[in-house]
Amino acid sequence: MEIGRASCYPVGMKKYGRTFHLPMSPGATSDDKIMSSLDGLKVDDLVVTEKMDGENTTIHANGSHARSPDSRHHPSRDWLKAFAATISPQLLDDERIVGENLYARHSVAYEALPSYFLGFSLIIADEVQAWDQTLLRFAELGIKPVPTLYRGPFRNDLFEELARSLDFSCQEGFVVRISGAFPESDMPTRIGKYVREGHVQSKRHWMKSELVPNGLDRN
């Protein structure tokens, strides 16, 4: 029997799982995973949020990290690290806040963000928490959530209708999940994303380009 190697990362430092593309997502590439079925989303209470064009980031009790716990330094992460320093002391050891670091402009230019960090998931141990509980926890911590585009039951034409309502000049797509809690291991069936076609608009990766901050809502 093979013995797994113990993790060298502190508790809470865990890579966020991949979100599979919905079958009708035109932005899926050969490297992406696509949901094989929508059965896991056919529930009476779905939550659809805007997919923000930022960097997937996790805040935990020991600090923060980009998608991978061993991600290297980049100037766009300085603001996030300072923000995380105000959140981390309030988190339990097995609690993770996952969201988008929107400080640096990628392909979509944002002019009036409510914050450079918008949260979309609360994970405790290995369970993705229910959406209502997630919003309550975000409010306690002073974290702004990603915009909600729809909440209600699944129907066969829902995702196509939502796709038609997007403004692709300033929106990258949407993410759909069940509103209830579910094990993190069920992410491939309980959460999916729709991404616009050709969502990467520049030939040069944003981390190798000039750092241009997005705009904040000053009102």
pLDDT tens digits, 122-151: 999 999 999 999 999 999 999 999 999 999
Domains of the chain: 20-197 (3.30.470.30)
Cα of first residue to Cα of last residue in the chain, in angstroms, is: 60
Backbone angles phi, psi at 12, to 5 degrees: 100, -25
What is the number of other CB atoms lying within 10 angstroms of the CB of residue 193? 22
Q: Does residue 146 contact residue 131 with C-beta atoms inside 8 Å?
A: no
**Facing residues of 69 across strands?**
none
Asked if residue 8 has pLDDT above 60, the reply is no
The sign of the CA dihedral 147, 152, 154, 156 is negative
Distance CA(125)–CA(132), nearest Å, equals 18
Higher pLDDT: 206 or 57? It is 57
Compute the mean pLDDT over every residue in the chain, rounded to the nearest whole number: 88
Segment 143-198, tens digit of pLDDT? 999 999 999 999 999 999 999 999 988 999 999 999 999 999 999 999 999 999 86
Segment 79-121, tens digit of pLDDT? 999 999 999 999 999 999 999 999 999 889 999 999 999 999 9
Distance CA(190)–CA(170), nearest Å, equals 26
Place of tokens 């949260």: 119
Distance CA(145)–CA(99), nearest Å, equals 8
For residue 90, give every residue at least 6 positions away whose Cβ sits within 8 Å of its Cβ, in sequence order, or none: 140, 141
